[in-house]
């Protein structure tokens, strides 16, 4: 693959190249902060897993561990292990690797759609329309993903924001589920940051803290389009040992509960020795 060509749209990001049995390789955009965005490796890993399951199967959950930060100067290799093929469920394991070793371990469970009771208890919170929210200045994610994050005042323990993939996607439901996975690592940090006793200005945050996504779980509930606005509503359940536990709901603009996400984040104060 030509590393001189960085994907500029989400559709380009999902163009994985097969390298042998159950192995695919993907490229990264040229992110301004210098390392791979976590939602990217989840989305590309899910796309690789999709290639090994029948069309009747759709993912109902993914569970990921971010092992180390990925570099932008080489491709990511996705190795898929077909753990189980059942009649109604199948399971895949995906390891994302670069020359320095594994950067992500992803488990995906797929389910054949069943008709049964459908009840929604989660309710979409009140929020301004996304078009009435300004994008944050210097938000480098706007190349592929458009997000409008609402302010989280100190002590709130909560963050909200509208997110969508910028380019118009084709009707393939699998591509939209990968798009939703891509956006799912984008809004939760503010929920944890707002609880910390040290409230550093945003422009000073990287100097005061080391932050990273540690692990990530996502449950898909209903069909959606990743190129339409969705609202993330995150709560931080507490801070402990430089880690923050965040749990969020994702809603379509009409109030449908589309997904549930849980992520533990690293929030470590930088201390001089």
Q: Which residues are catalytic?
A: 185, 213, 263
Tokens encoding 246: 């965040």
Angle at 159 between CA 120 and CA 138, to 5 degrees: 130
Find residue 263's DSSP bridge partners. 216, 246
């Amino acid at each position: 693959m030509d590393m001189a060509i960085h994907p500029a749209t989400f559709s380009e990001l999902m163009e994985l190249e097969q390298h042998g049995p159950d192995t695919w390789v993907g490229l990264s955009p040229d992110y301004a902060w210098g390392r791979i965005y976590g939602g990217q490796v989840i989305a590309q890993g899910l796309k690789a897993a999709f290639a090994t399951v029948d069309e009747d199967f759709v993912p109902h959950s993914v569970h990921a561990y971010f092992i180390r930060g990925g570099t932008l100067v080489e491709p990511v290799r996705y190795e898929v292990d077909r753990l189980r093929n059942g009649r109604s469920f199948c399971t895949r394991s995906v390891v994302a690797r670069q020359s320095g070793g594994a950067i992500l371990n992803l488990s995906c469970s797929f389910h054949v759609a069943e008709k049964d009771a459908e009840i929604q208890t989660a309710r979409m919170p009140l929020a301004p329309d996304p078009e009435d929210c300004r994008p944050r200045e210097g938000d480098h994610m706007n190349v592929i993903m458009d997000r409008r994050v609402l302010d989280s005042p100190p002590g709130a323990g909560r963050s909200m924001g509208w997110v969508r993939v910028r380019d118009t996607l084709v009707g393939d439901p699998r591509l939209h589920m990968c798009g939703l996975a891509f956006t799912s690592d984008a809004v939760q940090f503010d929920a944890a940051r707002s609880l910390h006793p040290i409230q550093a200005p945003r422009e000073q945050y990287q100097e005061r803290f080391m932050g990273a996504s540690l692990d990530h779980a996502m449950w898909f509930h209903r069909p959606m389009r990743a190129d339409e606005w969705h609202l993330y509503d995150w709560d931080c359940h507490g801070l402990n040992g430089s880690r923050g536990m965040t749990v969020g709901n994702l809603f379509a603009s009409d109030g449908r509960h589309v997904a549930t996400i849980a992520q533990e984040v690293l929030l470590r104060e930088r201390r001089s020795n």
